[in-house]
Structure 1
Amino acid sequence: MRPTAVRIGLAVIVGIAAALGGLFAAGVIGVPDAGLEDNAWGEVSDEEIEVLTTVWIDNPNPGFSLGDTRIDYAIAMNDVDLASGSADDVTVPSGNTTTELRTDLRYQRLPAWWASHIRNDEVSELAVETTAHVDVGPLSGSPSGTYTDEKATELEPMIAASLAEFEGEHTLSPVGSGAGTGTVEPTVEIRDTDAEWGAVTENRTELHLTFDVHNPNAHPLPTPALTGEMVFNEVTVAHWDAHEVDVRDGPDDATIPPQSSREITFVAELDNDDVAAWFATHADNEEVTDAEMRAQLAMQINGETRTIPDDEDAIHCTYELRTDIFVDQAAGLEREDCTLAPWAAPDDAAFEDRDSTDDRAGAETESESTESSDGLATVASRAS
């Protein structure tokens, strides 16, 4: 190529660039702006949760479209990256338009998010970031926007409200006195209850369930066992049998003496993978969950099992839980009903397994028979 032609070509390029620069300075052309329009849930299966992200792009340049635009986006809650992706070669016509992007939520990251949510008092900071990489001639830019919001749940108060249904005096079915003097009707008073989250890891979450148990009888009562479950949208997120629940800060003595009260805290556990399975149903159901909780106390008196509530019933409470992560609705928790429902009492093997668990934990036990003034002989397991 001749030097003169090269100089002419360079002059043309410089001239075009200068002209575009002048038009940009004059406000005739400009770099597009972009931001988040909307998020929504897409297809949901047992292994995938699709997220639909709609990005708006404002191309202020009349008369021509922009090609080769790349859009990046990322979704996080409590700084746990849950989804990210990009779309290349997006054509942006003049004016304000929208583009829908699809990606899958990182299902395996949901347990980590749940752990952060519980540690943060059931509050999650949602952040959705979008960036558009655009070129207008020699001009380029990467306009971005970040949407943030605070999302909260009220699961701990829900569990505490369910336990409160135990409060009051319970007269149990008659049991043999064990001393050949007929039968007696043990009475148990639950004076107070509470629930709170305990230790949490990415794999498991502790739930502390506390009962203030008063023994108004003239004879001692054994420390009760706790069974129960929580079911969200027909997914069992927690189920605990008598031998699976440890007692924390309970009495060293395995009996509650006559006319005495003991505060007993049971430690149940949730598998965080089950929480992830529930979240898929929650997203698929427009962020609405039908939540159920069942719980029952049980104790063995002279070899006979008695439950609280009586007659092998359990407290059964139902709630509707709503969130507004991507669905435009009022978030909250609504109690629907609390009733008594049939629930199998622990069998002898469950109590034996619980005692065996205590033995493995290092407690050496011995059986001791005590007889009260009303003739009720209670076999108690005492830590030595």
Structure 2
Amino acid sequence: MTWDRGLLGLAKLKVAAAVLGVLTVSLVGAAAFGVIGAPSVEAVDNEFGEVTNETTVIHTDLVVNNPNPIGVQLGDTRINYTVRMNEVPMATGGGEGLNIKTGNSTEEFTTEMDNGQIPPWWRSHIENGEVTQVSINATVHTSVLGQRKFDITQERQIETDLIGQFNSDETRPINADDPPPTTSNPILYVNRTGAQWGSVTEQETPINMRFDVYNPQLEPYVVTELGYEITMNGLLVGEGATEDAYVIEGGSTETLNTRAAIQNQQLDEWWVSHLQRGQVTDLRIEFYARVELPTGNTIRVPLDELTYEETIETDIFGNKNSGGSNETATTPNGETTPTPTPTPTPTSTPDDGGLLDETDTATDTETPTDDGIV
């Protein structure tokens, strides 16, 4: 009786295994013919997390929809995640295995951004006319229905105007703290100012500036030095002075040129402050002049009327505003206006039910790619 029961149990196991095998083949076949819906990526949401002098954490929520009445465990599915700004690789990360419940479920990933990439990105931003294209790409590799790869891409555009407001025709008086006894304030007038970016290098970001200066006095003045100090969120990012001397005759106007520069090695520290302040930066440029008087004495004149201030706000992942669908850009008049983010459309629609985000650009290919940033 014991031997017979053992045979009977073994027979039941064989039957169960056969049924399971048929069921598995049937499910795969049904999925292949679209009878069973395959999971799809519904949304990708990113937020900045902890930021240090070296790294910036990015938290990513990947919302996956499973239309089937049962959950799916995709242990051999992996996701590689990259963030680029103007093609400069900023962060890479990902994970393996998806535990997809029925309906919508959220997969969480953590990516670390290397703050050392801030200076190269900054250079690209300035060289591109203060425009940055943020590209977020999630590459999904899965063996469901064969070895497949899907790219889910999000694109955003960031624009700033850091020095545009420095171009001005406003006349501003220059007063000395202790004017010479032979004259009175104002000792000079600045009738026009202008600025444009110079050729950015790995070390610095130059700003070419000009000042149209009028001398209302009878005697000539010699401006022997024009100095500047640049801060971003209170952090010193550049300082220096011109070595050229300018003679401004009485009753005449002279154009003074100076080359200010942001030191790029300071930008990773600025980036930390930018994120800690909710992606807001206060730019400030202060000036002073050393003026040689007809008596031969030289005085230091603070150019307070020329102090330049500009507030810049960014929304790199598009989730600062309600709904997370708009980007904030600084307009030439210093105000901020929402710029709608265009909705990407899929470039292809796989018919095998693979992982696909219908609202983002998707590319279906069977050729494996590099897992890291290239």
State TM-score, norm by structure 1: 0.70
Higher strand share: 1
Q: Cα offset for 1:33?
A: 2.1
1:288 to 265, 280, 285: 280
2:128 to 120, 139, 162: 120
Q: Cα offset for 1:269?
A: 1.4
What is the distance in 2 between the residues matched to 1:298 and 1:53?
53
Q: Cα offset for 1:17?
A: 7.3
Structure 2 match to 1:300: 292
Query: Contact between 1:76 and 1:82, CA under 8 Å: does it hold in 2?
Result: yes
Query: Contact between 2:158 and 2:329, CA under 8 Å: does it hold in 1?
Result: no
Q: Cα offset for 1:239?
A: 2.3
Query: Contact between 1:36 and 1:129, CA under 8 Å: does it hold in 2?
Result: no
Q: Which amino acid aligns with 2:93?
A: G
User: Are the structure 2 counterparts of residues 324 and 246 from structure 1 closer, same or farther at C-alpha, using a change threshold of 3 Å?
Assistant: farther
Q: Which amino acid aligns with 1:331?
A: T
What is the distance in 2 between the residues matched to 1:274 and 1:164?
32
Q: Cα offset for 1:50?
A: 0.9
Structure 2 match to 1:343: none
Q: Cα offset for 1:24?
A: 2.2
Structure 2 match to 1:223: 223
Is 1:168 the counterpart of 2:172? The answer is: yes
Query: Contact between 2:175 and 2:301, CA under 8 Å: does it hold in 1?
Result: no
User: Are the structure 2 counterparts of residues 78 and 246 from structure 1 closer, same or farther at C-alpha, using a change threshold of 3 Å?
Assistant: farther
Q: Cα offset for 1:332?
A: 4.2
2:247 to 240, 255, 266: 255
What is the distance in 1 between the residues matched to 2:212 and 2:232?
28
Is 1:320 the counterpart of 2:311? The answer is: yes
What is the distance in 1 between the residues matched to 2:169 and 2:236?
22
Query: Contact between 1:55 and 1:100, CA under 8 Å: does it hold in 2?
Result: yes
289-298 vs 167-176, which moves further: 167-176
What is the distance in 2 between the residues matched to 1:254 and 1:289?
34
Q: How many pairs align?
A: 306
What is the distance in 1 between the residues matched to 2:271 and 2:175?
40
What is the distance in 1 between the residues matched to 2:281 and 2:51?
15
Structure 2 match to 1:202: 202
Q: Cα offset for 1:230?
A: 2.5
What is the distance in 1 between the residues matched to 2:284 and 2:247?
31
Cα deviations by residue, 1:169-200 (Å, 9 ceiling, x for unpaired): 44545436xxxxxx334832212101111110
Task: State, as a whole percentage, how many aligned pairs show the same letter.
Answer: 29
Cα deviations by residue, 1:51-70 (Å, 9 ceiling, x for unpaired): 11221222333313122121
Cα deviations by residue, 1:30-64 (Å, 9 ceiling, x for unpaired): 44222652111001122221111221222333313
Structure 2 match to 1:62: 69
User: Are the structure 2 counterparts of residues 254 and 264 from structure 1 closer, same or farther at C-alpha, using a change threshold of 3 Å?
Assistant: closer
Structure 2 match to 1:351: none
Q: Which stretches in structure 1 are left out of the alignment for 5+ residues?
A: 1-10, 177-182, 248-252, 337-384
Structure 1 match to 2:263: 271
User: Are the structure 2 counterparts of residues 169 and 233 from structure 1 closer, same or farther at C-alpha, using a change threshold of 3 Å?
Assistant: closer
Is 1:74 the counterpart of 2:79? The answer is: no
Q: Cα offset for 1:214?
A: 2.3
2:328 to 313, 321, 331: 331
Q: Cα offset for 1:102?
A: 0.8
User: Are the structure 2 counterparts of residues 95 and 135 from structure 1 closer, same or farther at C-alpha, using a change threshold of 3 Å?
Assistant: farther
What is the distance in 2 between the residues matched to 1:71 and 1:225?
57
Query: Contact between 1:66 and 1:135, CA under 8 Å: does it hold in 2?
Result: no
Q: Which stretches in structure 2 are left out of the alignment for 5+ residues?
A: 1-17, 322-326, 336-374
Q: Cα offset for 1:319?
A: 4.3
1:40-59 alignment runs, 5 A limit: 40-59=47-66
Cα deviations by residue, 1:257-281 (Å, 9 ceiling, x for unpaired): 3443222220011111212211111
Structure 1 match to 2:112: 104
What is the distance in 2 between the residues matched to 1:48 and 1:61?
40
Q: Which amino acid aligns with 1:49?
A: T
Cα deviations by residue, 1:195-253 (Å, 9 ceiling, x for unpaired): 1111101221101121012234333221352223222222222222x3xx355xxxxx7
What is the distance in 2 between the residues matched to 1:92 and 1:233?
44
User: Are the structure 2 counterparts of residues 84 and 164 from structure 1 closer, same or farther at C-alpha, using a change threshold of 3 Å?
Assistant: farther
1:153 to 157, 160, 163: 160
Query: Contact between 2:94 and 2:110, CA under 8 Å: does it hold in 1?
Result: no
Q: Which amino acid aligns with 1:28?
A: V
Secondary structure of the corresponding residue to residue 118 of structure 2: helix
State TM-score, norm by structure 2: 0.72
Q: Cα offset for 1:316?
A: 4.3
What is the distance in 1 between the residues matched to 2:32 and 2:298?
90
What is the distance in 2 between the residues matched to 1:117 and 1:296?
29
Query: Contact between 1:36 and 1:146, CA under 8 Å: does it hold in 2?
Result: no
Secondary structure of the corresponding residue to residue 202 of structure 1: coil
